[in-house]
Structure 1
Amino acid sequence: MIKEHEEALSKFGFDEVVKKYLIEGGELVVPLLPQVLDRFYGVVMDDPEMARFFPNQELMDQAKLGQQKHWEMLLSGAFSEEYFASAYRIGRIHPRIGLPFLFYLSGYAQAVSHIQELLLERNQGILGLFRRHNVPKIISALTRAFSLDTHLVLDAHFSAEKEEQETAFAHLTAGIDRMAARDLTQLIPGPEASDYPERYDPVRKAFNGLICTQRDVLHTIQDAASRLNIRANEVVQSAEDLSQRTESQAATLEETAAAVEQITVSMHASADATSETTKIVHSTRDGAARGGEVVQSAIQKMQDIEDSSHQISQIINVIDDIAFQTNLLALNAGVEAARAGETGKGFAVVASEVRALAQRSADSANEIKSLINVSAGHVEGGVTLVNDTGEALTMIRGDIGRTVELTSEVANSAQQQSTGLGEINVGVSQLDQVTQQNAAMAEQVTAAALSMTEDVGRLNTLIGSFDIGRPTIGCAEAEAMPESTSAANLRAG
């Protein structure tokens, strides 16, 4: 006999005398066991909470037969290893099927009470026999036996529960260790695929659910981090491109601002020159107007000279006629003096002189007439030239007036362009400032994007330190995967 069993018998006071009384009691109780068990299982079937442990009649019959054999071994007083093994087996079955030990104790108490009632009822007529058998000692032996049996079954029950707890804790501890090691690939298998106790299966499922949730979350974070890394790299590239374009734009704007500034200066100079030109054209127009007036005066004077030339020509014609008449008179006087002879010689000389004088007057008049005619021609040409000059000056005045208008318009336009260029210059300066600010912001965006890329890299490194297996595996699939180690191996490791 095992030492542990001997100690149990000793603690419950089973010496040879008590064993003798137990055997005598067993002879009285064993015939009553079928009736006791029928009543007991009848009560069990009337209780819904207890009846669920016996879903069919066959299972209940097996339970009754097993319990009867077990009690027969107990009441035999032999306390064989077969009995202890039976008590151990019964105690370990209860936690496996989920039978609360309170149900077992209450049922056991009812059965033992019924046994005592039957003993009293059936032996009331033969009290002498009871005295002969020393009834108190028999009942004491039976009580000790049933108490020992209860102790052995409950000890096995609690031992099984402890082993189940240790098994469950071993699986959970191994799972937690794997989780601490960032290994989320392996779940705790179910009772059908391992030695994990079924009564703690809700804890296992909760733990596996946690692992699956963490794995799914990490897969989601991993995918998001991968996409974020791509987006961050795109942002970095775009920010760098934007920074380069902004710098190029800033340089172009700077050149544009310088060019606009030069154009503005040139436009101011052009406006000043145009204004000065307008003044000169105005002065020229005034001069042309005065020239026109002088030409008109010259034309009038030429007309006066022409009129005087005509008058002189008429006087010369008169003088020419007088000279002709004088010449005729002198000729006639010379003829008459010739007729007078010596008397008329003096008069003939005078007549000859008068005729010569008249001839010279006529010649001079003709020369003057010729000169006047030439002068008249010159005066007429001068009048024509002065008229042409007047017309030309009139046209020049008109052109100068149009030039004045155009110059004024050019001056106004130049002024407006100068003002517009000034505004453009201000706008370009503001745009240059904004571009510089954009360049600074682009650099900040680039720095932020690079920082984000580094953060994503660290996040990927952190996620990469977890072993999360395939992203497609789910809890339902994982439940069917057998675990390579048992709880015993886990505890040993």
Structure 2
Amino acid sequence: MIATPLSGPDAVPVEMVSLKRIAQRADRLAVILSWALWPMAIGVGWLNDNLLVALIGGVVLALLATFIGTALRGTLFSRLVLSTLLIGWAGLLIQLGAGETEYHFSVFVLMSALLAWRDIRPILMGAAAAATHHILFNYLQENNLFGVVVFHHPGWDMVLFHALFVVAQTAMLLVIARQMAADARSASEVAELAAQINQQAGYLTLRADTQQSATPFARTFSTTLGTMHGTLHQVSDGVALLLTESDSILARNAALSTRTDEQAQALEVAASAMTEISIAASLTRDKAQSARQLAGETRAVATRGEENIQSAMRSMEKISEESRRVKIILELIDGIAFQTNILSLNASVEAARAGNQGRGFAVVASEVRNLAMRSESAAREIRQLMDASAISTEHGSVQVEHAAQTMREIHSSISGLSQLVTELSEMSEQQNLSIEQIQQSINSIDHSVHHNVQHVAETLQVAQQQQQQANALKQAIALFRLG
């Protein structure tokens, strides 16, 4: 809500509550009261067969009051004269009422009317006029001069009796008038402060109090205005600072919103990439598990090949052992053939010595020698074959040993490869778990970033509302001029 300036009929001009203005209004009221008392005087005169005095005396008092209240309006002289004329109206009514006690009440009524000036001097003047009237008219009545009447039963006792009441009323009226004058001065000083506040149409001007007020209320009001001036000055400075900070907050929030959006987009890209990496890691893990299984199978095959080579080596050793045994047998056969050949030669010699009788035995001996030679030749060929076979067997044993060494190396390599594949599979599983954790973290960060985006949007909206409120408060404070 924007405050509206105090102007127009609601604003109280300073002259309406100044002492001079009060005096002018009281003068006008005295004139009006004088003309209002004239019909009353005519009525009293008519009732008491004294209409001419009522007409002449009323016209004189009313015209004098009108002249003084118009020509000298607002002056001390006018209020003193008008207060005397009002008491004169009381004297006229007492004269017209033949001194009846009831008409003396008009003195007290008109004395109370003197409070309109909020000044003790008209009251004192009125009290003096009433005292003079009672003393002078009592003297004239007692001496039957000029037909004057003031009391129904004249005498100084009546003068003193009435004087007591007039003095008592005057004392009370003086106290009341003094208080009313103090209130009027307070109102006047406050009105002057209000005039300073409303000196510029449409705005309220607040300045530090440079003029010391006389009345306590005005001083309090002035102090309040000074405090309000300081407070509003601080509020104005605070609003200006708040607007500056609000603009800065809006700028920073806008930049933060842009960066947050960029982070959100980057996180979306990272999340997509991590999803692809997770898929690739899963495939790698599966491939690693397959490779580990294949490496295990290969190691098993290599183990079986090594076992087969070991068996072949044992077979080759067995063959070599049997070849040596065959050589021994062949040497035995060769020895037998040699002995048989010698025996056949001896038999041929003996058959030759026997002549014709040994001819058949010579044939047998010749066949035996042929058989021995053939056996020796066969044994020699078998020995040659066995030697070649032994060389081949020895060479095969060396090759088998080399193959066994190679298989052992292959087995060792396959074992190392299997260990590496196993470690790779374990690392792949660990990497997959880490990727899943990273993906969960990215999802959490993405959720936080989206939440931050929403929070930044809400903060931006609040900052805009704060800026609008600060602008509204600035417009409201703009009603005040703090110069």
TM-score range, shorter chain: 0.5 to 0.7
C-alpha distance in 1 between matches for 2:335 and 2:266? 97
Q: Secondary structure at the match of 1:178?
A: coil
- Deviation at 1:401? 4.7
Q: Aligned match of 1:243 in 247, 257, 266?
A: 257
C-alpha distance in 2 between matches for 1:443 and 1:86? 74
Amino acid at match of 2:298: T
C-alpha distance in 1 between matches for 2:384 and 2:78? 178
C-alpha distance in 2 between matches for 1:135 and 1:91? 24
**Residue of structure 2 equivalent to 1:177:** 198
Q: Secondary structure at the match of 2:203?
A: coil
Q: Aligned match of 2:248 in 234, 245, 249?
A: 234
C-alpha distance in 1 between matches for 2:379 and 2:372? 10
**Residue of structure 2 equivalent to 1:327:** 341
CA shift in 2, pair 1:405/1:130, >3 Å: closer
CA shift in 2, pair 1:254/1:291, >3 Å: same
Q: Aligned match of 2:317 in 294, 303, 306?
A: 303
Amino acid at match of 1:276: S
C-alpha distance in 2 between matches for 1:285 and 1:163? 120
Where in structure 2 are there 5+ consecutive unaligned residues? 1-29, 42-52, 54-74, 83-113, 152-158
CA shift in 2, pair 1:357/1:448, >3 Å: same
C-alpha distance in 1 between matches for 2:325 and 2:228? 135
Q: Aligned match of 2:393 in 379, 392, 395?
A: 379
CA shift in 2, pair 1:167/1:187, >3 Å: farther
**Residue of structure 2 equivalent to 1:422:** 436
Residues 269-308 of structure 1 mapped to structure 2, 5 A cutoff? 269-308=283-322
Amino acid at match of 1:419: L
C-alpha distance in 1 between matches for 2:146 and 2:188? 47
- Deviation at 1:434? 2.1
C-alpha distance in 1 between matches for 2:376 and 2:280? 77
C-alpha distance in 1 between matches for 2:286 and 2:266? 30
Residues 374-413 of structure 1 mapped to structure 2, 5 A cutoff? 374-394=388-408, 396-397=410-411, 400-401=414-415, 403-413=417-427
- Deviation at 1:419? 3.2
Residues 96-245 of structure 1 mapped to structure 2, 5 A cutoff? 100=120, 104=124, 108=128, 134=145, 171=192, 174-175=195-196, 177-178=198-199, 181-185=202-206, 201-202=215-216, 204-245=218-259
Q: Does 1:254 align with 2:265?
A: no
CA shift in 2, pair 1:103/1:391, >3 Å: same
CA shift in 2, pair 1:173/1:268, >3 Å: closer
C-alpha distance in 1 between matches for 2:76 and 2:281? 119
C-alpha distance in 2 between matches for 1:269 and 1:165? 96
Contact 2:299 2:414 in 1 (8 A): yes
Amino acid at match of 1:286: A
C-alpha distance in 2 between matches for 1:294 and 1:189? 121
Contact 2:310 2:404 in 1 (8 A): yes
C-alpha distance in 1 between matches for 2:212 and 2:393? 145
C-alpha distance in 1 between matches for 2:476 and 2:400? 107
**Residue of structure 1 equivalent to 2:373:** 359
- Deviation at 1:316? 0.8
C-alpha distance in 1 between matches for 2:202 and 2:216? 24
The structure whose RCO (Cα within 8 Å, separation 6+) is larger is 1
**Residue of structure 1 equivalent to 2:446:** 432
Residues 59-70 of structure 1 mapped to structure 2, 5 A cutoff? none
Q: Secondary structure at the match of 1:291?
A: helix
CA shift in 2, pair 1:115/1:306, >3 Å: same
Contact 2:285 2:429 in 1 (8 A): yes
CA shift in 2, pair 1:91/1:328, >3 Å: farther
Contact 2:232 2:477 in 1 (8 A): yes
Contact 2:212 2:219 in 1 (8 A): no
Where in structure 1 are there 5+ consecutive unaligned residues? 13-17, 19-84, 121-128, 193-197, 470-493
Contact 1:320 1:361 in 2 (8 A): yes
- Deviation at 1:112? 5.7
Contact 1:184 1:215 in 2 (8 A): no
C-alpha distance in 2 between matches for 1:130 and 1:358? 218
Q: Deviation per CA, 1:79-98, whole angstroms, max 9, x where unpaired?
A: xxxxxx99559789x99xx8
Using the TM superposition, name which of 455-464 and 363-372 deviates more. Answer: 455-464
Contact 2:278 2:432 in 1 (8 A): yes
- Deviation at 1:224? 0.6
**Residue of structure 1 equivalent to 2:482:** 468
CA shift in 2, pair 1:176/1:231, >3 Å: closer
What is the TM-score normalised by the length of structure 2? 0.59
Q: Secondary structure at the match of 1:181?
A: coil
Q: Secondary structure at the match of 1:460?
A: helix
Amino acid at match of 2:386: I
Amino acid at match of 2:276: Q
- Deviation at 1:410? 3.5
- Deviation at 1:258? 1.7
Q: Deviation per CA, 1:293-314, whole angstroms, max 9, x where unpaired?
A: 3233323322322222112111
Amino acid at match of 1:434: S
- Deviation at 1:272? 1.0
Contact 1:228 1:456 in 2 (8 A): yes
- Deviation at 1:228? 0.9
**Residue of structure 2 equivalent to 1:67:** none
C-alpha distance in 2 between matches for 1:219 and 1:107? 53
C-alpha distance in 1 between matches for 2:243 and 2:187? 45
Q: Does 1:459 align with 2:473?
A: yes
Residues 36-51 of structure 1 mapped to structure 2, 5 A cutoff? none
CA shift in 2, pair 1:268/1:109, >3 Å: same
Q: Deviation per CA, 1:173-214, whole angstroms, max 9, x where unpaired?
A: 63453376214156898599xxxxx6xx55544554454343
Contact 1:249 1:435 in 2 (8 A): yes
- Deviation at 1:414? 2.5
- Deviation at 1:245? 2.1
CA shift in 2, pair 1:353/1:89, >3 Å: same
C-alpha distance in 2 between matches for 1:165 and 1:208? 11
C-alpha distance in 1 between matches for 2:480 and 2:409? 100
CA shift in 2, pair 1:163/1:449, >3 Å: closer
Q: Deviation per CA, 1:411-433, whole angstroms, max 9, x where unpaired?
A: 34423432332233233223212
Contact 1:288 1:393 in 2 (8 A): yes
C-alpha distance in 2 between matches for 1:91 and 1:389? 154
